[in-house]
């Protein structure tokens, strides 16, 4: 997910090869694309779902797949560049903890406390009947979603599954990188990329009614993370030569193919086609998009990814993702205080929800996240060549 503000060494192109160059702002641009797709999926008015924009909103859940690819790429790069460090585990986990935990646990605890006091604790009791809050404190909410085959009864908890998938990946992958040489790591990642859709297919045949099983479990979604990690490995060991024009054509082809698969799968994440090959198609398309972006850094074709508003949305994307429901609550409170009725399923309300979420994420970034980011280099100096924002 968008929790990652550390970056792997950025890259520059010389001919058809890709070289390291320092910070790569275009990655924040890709984060912005990912979070805007998620926002479209969650905030787009239902009455307009059959429009052209509605089709994009219906498949906006794929923004999570872009986050997975980015996380795999960035985390693998950080780990690969620090394999020889004596503080390999300590530095990685301290930096991850300072980046992820404060906002996650702060927002989670605030939500649980509010549910305890509002309406006599009815909302909290509804959550307990679904599953105790400790599932989310232990980063196992996605497992409980699978067991229940249902989302939590409170919207705040629904998007947390992808953060839990990433945290589970963070627990396992450092061991894999440390004990696997790059050649073995490549083979292992290819095996994961192939095995994940096979597993989804088997689970679909065994549990066809459990739509959440394929969608929220780490083994079923790890191919996106593996694609990103594979790119990080190949950039350090040698990429096949390909011209910019050919790479752009390949990327466009994969994106169009992914859209076609999603369309035939009904756009939604729960359709049988998307639960098997759909997630693979989107992960491959976003992996190609990432490679195209790396190859086109600081060039005119990627200038839109470096626009200041785009970079800002990408920079605060973790807060935007985690605070979607609180932003909606604040929007509703503003409307009640102003006495201004808005259609519950209209564009104006969607824009207001987006604006309030931006405001909350901005406060979170400058008051909590950025000060903690400064502590990372004090408590766990980075031993890799990967800079941090």
The per-residue pLDDT of the chain, averaged, comes to 89
User: Which positions of the chain have pLDDT values less than 70?
Assistant: 1-22, 49, 52, 342-345, 377, 379-389
| Site of tokens 């729960």 | 270
Which pLDDT value is given to residue 182? 92
Looking at residue 336, what is its pLDDT?
80
User: pLDDT value at position 62?
Assistant: 97
Neighbours of 336 (CB within 10 A): 10
Q: Any idea where the domains of the chain sit in the sequence?
A: 10-375
Cβ pair 145, 207 in contact under 8 A: no
pLDDT of residue 139: 97
Query: pTM to 2 decimals?
Result: 0.92
pLDDT at residue 72 in the model: 97
Three-state secondary structure along the chain? CCCCCECCCEEEEECCEEEEEECCCHHHHHHHHHHHHHHHHHHCCHHHCCCHHHHHHHCHHHHHHHHHHHHHHHHHHHHHHCCCCCCHHHHHHHHHHHHHHHHHHHHHHHHHHHHHHHHHHHHHHHHHHHCCCHHHHCCCHHHHHHHHCCCCCCHHHCCHHHHHHHHHHHHHHHHHHHHCCHHHHHHHHHHHHHHHHHHHHHHHHHCCCCHHHHHHCHHHHHHHHHHHHHHHHHHHHCCCCCCHHHHHHHHHHHHHHHHHHHHHCCCCCCCHHHHHHHHHHHHHHHHHHHHHHHHCCCCHHHHHHHCHHHHHHHHCHHHHHHCHHHHHHHHHHHHHHHCCCCCCCCHHHHHHHHHHHHHHHHHHHHHHHHHHHHHHHHHCCCCCCCCEC
Residue 17: the pLDDT is: 47
């Amino acid at each position: 997910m968008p929790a990652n503000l550390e970056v792997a060494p950025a890259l520059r192109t010389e001919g058809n090869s890709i070289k390291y160059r320092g910070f790569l702002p275009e990655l924040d641009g890709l984060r912005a694309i990912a979070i805007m797709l998620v926002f479209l999926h969650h905030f787009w008015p239902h009455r307009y779902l059959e429009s052209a924009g509605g089709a994009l909103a219906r498949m906006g859940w794929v923004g999570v797949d872009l986050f997975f690819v980015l996380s795999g790429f960035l985390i693998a790069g950080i780990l690969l560049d620090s394999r020889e460090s004596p503080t390999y585990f300590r530095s990685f986990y301290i930096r991850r903890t300072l980046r992820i935990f404060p906002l996650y646990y702060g927002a989670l605890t605030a939500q649980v406390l509010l549910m305890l006091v509002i309406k006599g604790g009815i909302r909290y009791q509804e959550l307990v009947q679904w599953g105790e809050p400790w599932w989310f404190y232990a980063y196992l909410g996605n497992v409980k979603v699978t067991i229940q085959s249902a989302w939590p009864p409170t919207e705040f908890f629904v998007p947390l599954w992808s953060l839990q998938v990433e945290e589970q990946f963070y627990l396992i992958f450092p061991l894999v990188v440390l004990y696997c040489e790059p050649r073995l790591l490549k083979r292992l990642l290819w095996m994961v990329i192939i095995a994940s859709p096979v597993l989804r297919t088997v689970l679909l045949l065994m549990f066809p009614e459990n739509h959440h099983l394929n969608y929220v479990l780490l083994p079923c979604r790890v191919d996106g993370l593996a694609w990103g990690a594979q790119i990080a490995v190949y950039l350090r060991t040698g990429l096949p030569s390909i011209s910019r024009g050919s790479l752009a054509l390949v990327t466009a082809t994969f994106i169009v193919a992914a859209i076609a698969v999603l369309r035939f799968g009904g756009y939604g994440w729960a359709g049988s086609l998307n639960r098997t090959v759909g997630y693979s198609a989107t992960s491959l398309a976003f992996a190609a998009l990432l490679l195209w972006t790396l190859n086109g850094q600081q060039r005119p074709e990627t200038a839109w990814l470096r626009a200041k508003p785009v970079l800002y949305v990408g920079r605060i994307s973790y807060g935007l993702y985690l605070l979607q429901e609180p932003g909606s609550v604040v929007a509703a409170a503003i409307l009640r205080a102003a006495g201004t009725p808005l259609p519950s399923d209209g564009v104006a309300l969607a824009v207001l929800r987006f604006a309030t979420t931006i405001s909350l994420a901005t406060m979170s970034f400058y008051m909590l996240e950025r000060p903690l980011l400064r502590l990372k280099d004090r408590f766990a100096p980075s031993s890799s060549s990967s800079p941090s924002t």
